[in-house]
Amino acid sequence: MAIDCITIEQYLHEHIPMSKAMAVAVASINDSGVLLSAPLAPNINHRNTVFGGSISTLAILSAWTFVHVQLKTLNIPSRIVIQSNSLEYTNPATGDVQARCFAPDSNVWQCFINTLTKRGKGRISLSSEVYSNGLLVGQFHGKYVALKSND
């Protein structure tokens, strides 16, 4: 099942309203990861930089989107929730931001799929990096839980 960026972006905007308010765009989706972007204007703070909450949301959403797309591609209906996360802010974001979630090691991913398939519940840890104007502004690590559903 091929999934395109526009379809996923529409899904995010419809089902996660904050993504629409932030003007999140899906820049790329492939086996190596997901790249989301958001403009400065709707995410600006009082210091004319990107609000930390927007950076965190974009990073969380990039990893969530990766799991969502991969499970949809495998035709495994599930509910995906974040269990825990951390984000280190490394620099102020002075312009538009991009969050790239990196695909996990194939053995880690396969273990997650096997557990989800056999037990109906799987956990996976993912990482994202957030950039603004080519500068690393955040490093994210999150643990996600997928629960098989009958949808």
pLDDT tens digits, residue range 75-101?
999 999 999 999 999 999 999 999 999
**pLDDT higher than threshold 60 for residue 140:** yes
Neighbour-count burial for 36-55, b at 16+ CB within 10 Å, e otherwise: bbbebeebeeeeebbbbebb
Share of the chain above pLDDT 70, in %: 98
- Structure confidence at residue 150 (pLDDT): 78
The structural domains of the chain, with segments of one domain joined by +, span: 5-148
pLDDT tens digits, residue range 23-64?
999 999 998 999 999 999 999 999 999 999 999 999 999 999
CA-based diameter of the chain, in Å? 49
pTM of the model: 0.95
- Structure confidence at residue 17 (pLDDT): 97
pLDDT range class, residue 1, cuts 50, 70, 90: very low
- Structure confidence at residue 151 (pLDDT): 66
For the beta sheet containing 78-89, the strands, ordered from the edge strand earlier in sequence to the opposite edge, are: 25-30, 33-38, 97-102, 121-132, 135-148, 78-89
pLDDT range class, residue 2, cuts 50, 70, 90: low
Q: Which residue has the tokens 């991009």?
A: 98
- Structure confidence at residue 129 (pLDDT): 98
Count of C-beta atoms within a 10 Å radius of residue 72: 16
pLDDT tens digits, residue range 101-126?
999 999 999 999 999 999 999 999 99
| Mean pLDDT in residue range 64-69 | 97
Distance CA 35, CA 101 (A): 7
Q: Into which CATH architecture does domain 5-148 fall?
A: Roll (3.10)
